[in-house]
Amino acid sequence: MKIMVGVKRVIDYNVKIRVKADETAVETNNVKMSMNPFDEIAVEEGVRLLESGTANELIAVSIGQIQAQETIRTALAMGADRGILVETNDEIEPLGVAKCLKAIAETETPDLIILGKQAIDDDAGQTGQMLSALLGWSQGTFASKIIFDSGNVNVTREVDGGLETVSLKIPSVITTDLRLNEPRYASLPNIMKAKKKPIDKTTPEELGVDLTTHLELINVCAPSDRIAGTIVNDVGELVEKLRTEAKVI
């Protein structure tokens, strides 16, 4: 079985986000970047399938600027076999990402594609579903458990009402939730080995993918500061403030 995972380079989750002065985008210059946490879970699951003998090859794919190679190297250090970078300086919508992944999947013919359920920069949560539709593959989103059984894959999903288990025919697209696993830290020897693993480079043009945007970003602004709360002495004072100041009763 061949597995493909998507990895995205995003601002590190520990960094305080700053908006550019002209309010056109988030500031990324001189900011620490790292792999999207949900994609780390996807890579970890792929590596575990390698270690169990369920899979025999794991490919990490990233789409973005040349610096995204660092993110692919992280996946290689975690245990992926090789990487593919679709290099572009353009802003890419989830649909564009799905189109690039579809083009690569048609060449690489993986049996399973594992993606993070969303990226922490845009929180769109759309790429896996779009990719499944474009490929015509089955999909299991928000996976908290993955079990292979008689040529199918059973995916336990996190849904509003609790848990749902679906049986999918392979090939399939799966997106990962937080409870699927705990990603490992790459050891120093594996980090050194990752430097020698191959990363193939291509472009959207070479893949025949049109990245024309369908959305217009009008403005980016930071959320307003929270207003300090008020301490009341008793229920009567609370009710009075709700009536006169908040005017909710």
Q: What pLDDT is recorded for position 248?
A: 80
pLDDT for the residue numbered 70: 94
Q: Which amino acid is at 44?
A: E
- Residue 121, judged by CB atoms within 10 A of its CB (0-12, 13-18, 19+), counts as middle
Q: Phi/psi class of residue 160: alpha, beta or left (left: φ > 0; alpha: ψ in -120 to 50)?
A: alpha
What per-residue confidence (pLDDT) applies to 117? 94
Q: CA 100 to CA 98: how far, in whole Å?
A: 5
pLDDT of residue 193: 93
Cα–Cα distance measured from residue 121 to residue 67, given in angstroms and rounded to the nearest whole number: 17
Q: Which pLDDT tens digits describe the chain residue by residue (249 residues)?
A: 999 999 999 999 988 888 888 888 888 888 899 999 999 999 999 999 999 999 999 999 999 999 999 999 999 999 999 999 999 998 889 999 999 999 999 999 999 999 999 999 888 999 999 999 999 999 999 999 999 988 899 999 988 888 999 999 999 999 999 999 999 999 999 999 999 999 999 999 999 998 888 888 888 888 888 888 888 899 999 999 888 887 887
Give residue 245's pLDDT.
84
- CA separation for the pair 24, 26 (Å, rounded): 7
For residue 176, give the amino acid letter: T
Alpha helices in 109-171 (DSSP H): 127-135
Whether the bond between 171 and the residue before it is cis, its omega within 30 degrees of 0, is yes
The domains located in the chain, with CATH, are 2-223 (3.40.50.620)
User: What pLDDT sits at residue 88?
Assistant: 93
In 101-206, the DSSP E strands lie at: 112-116, 138-149, 152-159, 162-169, 172-176, 199-202
Sign of CA dihedral 33, 36, 41, 45: negative
**Residues contacting 138, CB < 8 A, separation 6+:** 132, 168, 169, 170, 171, 172, 173
